[in-house]
């Protein structure tokens, strides 16, 4: 039975744990899927690489507002797909080859299940033990509890984000089930590239977790580009002659959608159910997340966790931060670093949706602030009221800032071009406790850059001064 100093389950952010402070440890990495994890292979990176050409198509379509027109774009799907995975796949292979070539690292291409305290069994039947274990096993897409739609089945045209980006060709029609960020980003991509998209959302608007006005605005913009059906639930599915027929129930009663491809984008589940976590002494929440403390220690001695398997955020930048915390704490635990373990903190966690237009956010919505009884002031600034917004002819972009009455930034919510970049000064202000007026007046803002929407929003806050 092989025994290691450290076993890491997962090769995404878990792969970055092996810092110089941990050099020389006898390490085993266990990975069943594609080496490098979700973000690199089927998540953030490829999706955003698909978003860029989709954005260009939409921008060309909208350019008539600027006095410029283009011929109908010609989309070369194989060229787009192969450019993206021609870059990503070698990175995955290279990372795997690098780890295989390291003297003190053993790579197991397998799943692992706990059988006891820091004891694991692999798919091969081989048993592995370790002094310390880090669980970074990630998450996977959900299916629908309906025959034919319980999981991805590319052979019949049922896909999740794990498979849909490698389609051999673009289908004439696609039904996108879901209204969150994965559904909205991929609906944007495929509709822009010429697929007739129908998006089915059971709630009253898309992006339900965003500030309500932003979710509502995004929904209206999407409805001008493709078929969005709100308040709609899929009740049955039938596949015949290469076409799916989805029976639905919505505000107008029973209806149906026909499509060659169905994309299931109805959330993700942590992979704890594949680990037999409780056999290893690891407690699990009702949502299936591993229970961890603020040092990312699980309830089992010598076992840490990070990423989607224990974090509700399901964000790569969160997993990377957690990997740095765990790496430090492992080094302290091993006596290779002096000092105290690092703890997670309450810094703002931003996220972005790379649909069209982009959405970015951090902190509570106004509804959440109201529910908590938190005093706050707010300002919503339109993109179209700053000079670069005029240049863009933007009529929908907004930035909303919430602050406490003294001027401390609590939250920001953005919809519009480059939202994921525009929000960053506000993330910094909230993280370091900077005063809103100090941020607005304590530096030069390039004129007429789009960042002036941030400056004007901060200046417009009705603060107690």
DSSP reduced 3-state for 210: coil
- In terms of CATH architecture, what is 154-266? 3-Layer(bba) Sandwich (3.50)
Query: Which pLDDT belongs to residue 391?
Result: 98
What does DSSP assign to residue 248?
Answer: E
Per-residue pLDDT of the chain (465 residues; tens, 9 = 90+): 799 999 999 999 999 999 999 999 999 999 999 999 999 999 999 999 999 999 999 999 999 999 999 999 999 999 999 999 999 999 999 999 999 999 999 999 999 999 999 999 999 999 999 999 999 999 999 999 999 999 999 999 999 999 999 999 999 999 999 999 999 999 999 999 999 999 999 999 999 999 999 999 999 999 999 999 999 999 999 999 999 999 999 999 999 999 999 999 999 999 999 999 999 999 999 999 999 999 999 999 999 999 999 999 999 999 999 999 999 999 999 999 999 999 999 999 999 999 999 999 999 999 999 999 999 999 999 999 999 999 999 999 999 999 999 999 999 999 999 999 999 999 999 999 999 999 999 999 999 999 999 999 999 999 986
Residues of the chain with CATH 3.30.390.30: 357-459
User: By percentage, how much of the chain surpasses pLDDT 70?
Assistant: 100
Task: Mark 429-465 as b/e (b = at least 16 C-beta within 10 Å).
Answer: bbeeebbbeebbeeeebeeeebbbbbbbbbebbebee
- Residue 447 catalytic? yes
Parallel, antiparallel or unpaired: strands 158-159 and 261-264 = parallel
DSSP reduced 3-state for 380: strand
Proportion of the chain in helix, strand, coil states, percent, rounded to 5? 35, 25, 40
Task: Mark 372-405 as b/e (b = at least 16 C-beta within 10 Å).
Answer: eeeebbbbebbbbebebbeebebeebbbbbbbbe
Structure confidence by residue, pLDDT tens digits, 25-48: 999 999 999 999 999 999 999 999
198: part of which helix (H) or strand (E)? strand 196-200
* Distance of alpha carbon 310 from the chain centroid: 15
The yes/no answer on whether domain 357-459 falls in CATH 3.30.390.30 is yes
* Distance of alpha carbon 18 from the chain centroid: 24
Quote the tokens at residue 79: 């060229």
The CA R_g of the chain, rounded to the nearest whole Å, is 24
Question: DSSP string of 71-123?
Answer: PPP---HHHHHHHHHHHHHHHHHHHHHHHHTSTTEEEE-S-EEEEETTEEEET
Residues of the chain with CATH 3.50.50.60: 3-139+269-333, 154-266
Decide: 425 and 414 in contact? Cβ < 8 Å. no
3-139+269-333: CATH topology is FAD/NAD(P)-binding domain (3.50.50)
Active-site hit among 64, 209, 313, 447: 447
Nearest CA to 97 out of 4, 14, 15 is that of 15
Tell me how far CA of residue 317 lies from CA of 173, 347, 349, 357, 433, in angstroms: 34, 13, 9, 22, 21
Structure confidence by residue, pLDDT tens digits, 147-168: 999 999 999 999 999 999 999 9
Query: What global pTM score does this model have?
Result: 0.97
């Amino acid at each position: 039975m092989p025994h290691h100093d450290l076993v890491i389950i997962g090769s995404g952010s878990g792969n970055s744990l092996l810092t110089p402070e941990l050099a020389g440890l006898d390490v085993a990495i266990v990975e069943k899927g594609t080496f490098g994890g979700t973000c690199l292979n089927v998540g953030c990176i490829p999706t955003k690489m698909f978003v860029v050409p989709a954005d260009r198509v939409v921008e060309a379509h909208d350019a008539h507002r600027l006095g410029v027109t283009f011929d109908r774009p010609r989309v070369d799907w194989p060229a787009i797909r192969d450019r993206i995975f021609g870059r990503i796949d070698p990175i995955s292979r290279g990372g795997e080859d690098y780890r295989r070539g390291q003297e003190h690292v053993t790579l197991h291409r397998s799943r692992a299940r706990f059988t006891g305290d820091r004891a694991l069994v692999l798919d091969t039947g081989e048993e592995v033990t370790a002094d310390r274990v880090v669980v970074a096993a990630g998450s996977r897409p959900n299916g629908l509890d309906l025959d034919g739609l319980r999981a991805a089945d590319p052979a019949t045209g049922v896909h999740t984000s794990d498979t849909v980006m490698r389609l051999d060709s673009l289908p004439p029609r696609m039904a996108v089930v879901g209204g969150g960020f994965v559904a909205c980003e991929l609906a944007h991509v495929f509709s822009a590239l010429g697929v007739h998209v129908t998006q089915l959302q059971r709630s009253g608007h898309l992006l339900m977790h965003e500030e309500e006005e932003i979710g509502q605005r995004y929904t209206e913009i999407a409805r001008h580009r493709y078929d969005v059906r709100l308040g709609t639930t899929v009740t049955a599915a039938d596949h015949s002659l290469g076409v799916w027929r989805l029976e639905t129930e919505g505000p107008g009663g029973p209806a149906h959608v026909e499509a060659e491809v169905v994309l299931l984008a109805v959330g993700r589940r942590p992979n704890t159910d594949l680990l037999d976590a409780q056999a290893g002494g690891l407690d699990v929440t009702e949502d299936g997340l591993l229970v961890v403390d603020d040092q990312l220690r699980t309830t089992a001695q010598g076992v840490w966790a990070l990423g989607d398997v224990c974090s509700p955020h399901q964000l790569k930048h969160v997993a990377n931060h957690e990997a740095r915390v765990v790496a430090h704490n492992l080094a302290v635990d091993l006596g290779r670093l002096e000092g105290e373990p690092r703890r997670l903190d309450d810094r703002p966690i931003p996220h972005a949706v790379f649909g069209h237009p982009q959405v970015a956010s951090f902190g509570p919505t106004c509804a959440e602030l109201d529910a908590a009884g938190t005093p706050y002031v707010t300002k919503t600034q339109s993109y179209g009221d700053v000079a670069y917004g005029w240049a863009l002819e933007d009529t929908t972009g907004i930035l909303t800032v919430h602050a406490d009455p003294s001027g401390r930034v609590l939250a920001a919510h953005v919809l519009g071009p480059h939202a994921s970049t525009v929000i960053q000064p506000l993330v910094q202000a909230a993280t370091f406790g900077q005063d809103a007026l100090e941020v607005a007046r304590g530096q030069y803002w390039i004129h007429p850059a789009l960042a002036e929407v941030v400056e004007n929003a901060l200046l417009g806050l009705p603060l107690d001064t």
